[in-house]
């Protein structure tokens, strides 16, 4: 899961930078790595990956700030269902 997200981010947002530079605990939002439109793309990607819509109330920084956080969020959603 994490790797798929990492690959997506590397491909779409890193540009010239190497995938290896991206750590699972890097702040991908406030670092400017991903812009507003990028977040929307990322959310759409996660939705596709999990085959689930993300409700508006879950679209908060905490859930998307790092690749780790995204995975935690996805796992947490699985458990609650």
Partner 1 sequence: MLGQDPKLERVYGLTKSQMSIWTGQRLNPESPLYNMVYTFDLEGEIDTNHFRKAFKVLVEKCEALRTVFDETKDYPRQIILENLDFEMEVLDWSSESFTEEHLEEWLDERIGKLFDLSKRTFESILIKLSEKRSIWYFNQHHLTTDARASLIIFTKMSELYSKSVEGNLGEVSAFHKFENYLIYEQTVRKEPEHLAIDEYWAKKLASVEALPKLYEQNGEKATTESKRVVVDLGEERTVNLQELAKEKDLRAFTEDLSHFNIFATVLLAYLYRISGQNKLVFGSPVQNRTTPEFKNTPGLFIEFFPFVHEVKNDDTFASLFKRVSGETFEFLRNARPAASSTKSNRAFNVVLNYINTGFPDFAGIPCKATWMHPNNSDANHHMRLHVYKDARAKSIQLFFDLNTTIFDEQNLETVSNHFLKLLDAFIENRIQQVNEASLLGDSEFNRLVKDFNDAEDFETETVVDMFRKQAEQTPNAIAIVDKKQSFSFAELDKISDRLANYLLETSVKNGDRVALYLNRSADFIISMLASLKAGCAYIPIAVNSPERRLAEKVKISQSSIIITGEKFEKDLREISTRIFTLDKVWDVLKQVDTSELERNIDPESLAYIIFTSGSTGIPKGVRVSHIGLGNYVRSACDKYSPDIAPTFPLFTAIDFDLTVTSMFVPLVSGGSIRVYEEEEAGPDLAILDVMDENEVNAIKLTPSHLTLIRDRDLSNSKIKTMIVGGEDLKTELARKIEESFPDNLVIYNEYGPTEATVGCIVHRFNSANTVSSSVPIGKPFARTMVYILDGALNPVPEGVTGRLFLSGISLSDGYWKNADLTRQKFVSNPFAAGAKMYDTGDFARLNSKGAIEYLGREDEQVKIGGIRVELGEIETALANYPGIENCVVELIKGKSRVFREEILNCVRCGLPSNYPAARFNENGICRLCDSFGNYQKKAQKYFKTPDDLKKVFEESNQIRKGEYDCLMLLSGGKDSTYALAKLVGMGAEVLAFTLDNGYISNGAKANISRVVKELDVDHVFGKTPAMNEIFVDSLVRHKNVCNGCFKTIYTLSMKVALEKDIPFIVTGLSRGQFFETRLTEELFWNDDVEAIDQTILEARKAYHRVDDAVKRNLDSSFLQDQTAFERVRFLDFYRYFDIKLEDMMEYLDDKLPWIRPTDTGRSTNCLINQVGIYVHKKEEGYSNYAFPYSWDVRMGHKTREVSLDEINEEIDETGVKKIMSEIGYVPNNETVDEKLIGYYVALEDISPRKLRNTLAKQLPAYMIPVSYVRLENIPLTDNGKIDRKALRKLTNNEPEIETEYVPPETEFEEVLAEIWSEVLNIDRVGVHEDFLEIGGNSLSAIRIMTRANESFQLDLPLNRIFEMPTIKSLSKSVEKTIIRRLSVESN
Residues of the shown chain interacting with partner 1 in the complex, contacts defined by CB under 8 A: 12-16, 29-30, 34-37, 39-41, 43-44, 56, 59, 61, 64
| Smallest separation, CB 55 to partner 1 (Å) | 11
Number of C-alpha atoms within 13 angstroms, CB side, residue 28?
Answer: 28
Distance CA 33, CA 41 (A): 13
Cβ nearer to partner 1, comparing 4 with 44: 44
Cβ nearer to partner 1, comparing 61 with 76: 61
Distance CA 31, CA 69 (A): 15
| Smallest separation, CB 13 to partner 1 (Å) | 7
Nearest to 39 by CA among 12, 75, 57: 12
Cβ nearer to partner 1, comparing 21 with 79: 21
């Amino acid at each position: 899961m994490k790797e798929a997200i990492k690959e997506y981010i590397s491909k779409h947002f890193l540009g010239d930078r190497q995938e290896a530079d991206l750590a699972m605990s890097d702040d991908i939002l406030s670092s400017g790595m991903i812009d507003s439109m990028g977040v929307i793309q990322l959310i759409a990607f996660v939705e596709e990956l999990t085959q689930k819509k993300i409700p508006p109330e879950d679209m908060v920084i905490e859930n998307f700030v790092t690749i780790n956080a995204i995975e935690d969020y996805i796992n947490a959603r699985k458990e609650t269902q």
